[in-house]
């Protein structure tokens, strides 16, 4: 049985973030996910790849970021992996959803960064971060009802 799976490697540059997201979005649509759900996944992939560029590689280009997307039994699994500075695995132990609560009367006071994990947490069904043997992988899962292809 064939299980849909895709791997793409992008360079650790901010201008590659949108490419990674767009490729995963196309994978989701081709696998039967809706436009809306595929767009939500695209945002999460972009946030995760952006974190690799900024935090793991300190915005230094010429490093690889591997993005893997797969679908099995109605669940999409995404992995964003790097070989940069490891993150703190404790980062996922506390909820960040409160960071998405914005005060519409004071939007100028809203910070420009720091909400990526909160966005991912609000969209995805599961997240995990593992760093072993010099490889850091941030995994996300999303249950999506896919349209059947004929």
Model pLDDT for residues 34-56, shown as the tens digit of each residue: 999 999 999 999 999 999 999 99
pLDDT in the model for residue 91: 66
The two structure tokens encoding residue 88: 């703190």
Model pLDDT for residues 8-17, shown as the tens digit of each residue: 999 999 999 9
Give the global pTM.
Answer: 0.83
Domains and CATH numbers, the chain: 5-98+116-143 (3.30.565.10)
pLDDT in the model for residue 47: 95
Cβ 28 vs Cβ 75: under 8 Å? no
User: 102 or 33: which carries more pLDDT confidence?
Assistant: 33
Instruction: Give me the sign of the Cα torsion angle 22, 9, 7, 121.
Output: negative
């Amino acid at each position: 049985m064939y299980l849909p799976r895709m791997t793409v490697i992008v360079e650790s540059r901010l201008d590659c973030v949108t490419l990674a997201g767009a490729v995963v979005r196309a994978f989701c649509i081709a696998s039967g996910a809706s436009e809306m759900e595929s767009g939500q996944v695209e945002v999460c992939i972009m946030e995760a790849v952006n974190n690799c560029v900024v935090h793991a590689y300190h915005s230094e280009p010429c490093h690889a970021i591997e993005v893997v997307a797969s679908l099995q039994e109605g669940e999409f699994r995404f992995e964003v992996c790097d070989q940069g500075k490891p993150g703190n695995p404790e980062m996922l132990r506390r909820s960040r959803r409160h960071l998405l609560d914005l005060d519409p009367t004071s939007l100028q006071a809203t910070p420009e960064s720091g909400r990526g994990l909160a966005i991912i947490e609000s969209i995805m069904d599961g997240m995990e971060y593992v760093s072993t043997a010099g490889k850091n992988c941030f995994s996300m899962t999303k249950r999506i009802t896919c349209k059947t292809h004929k």
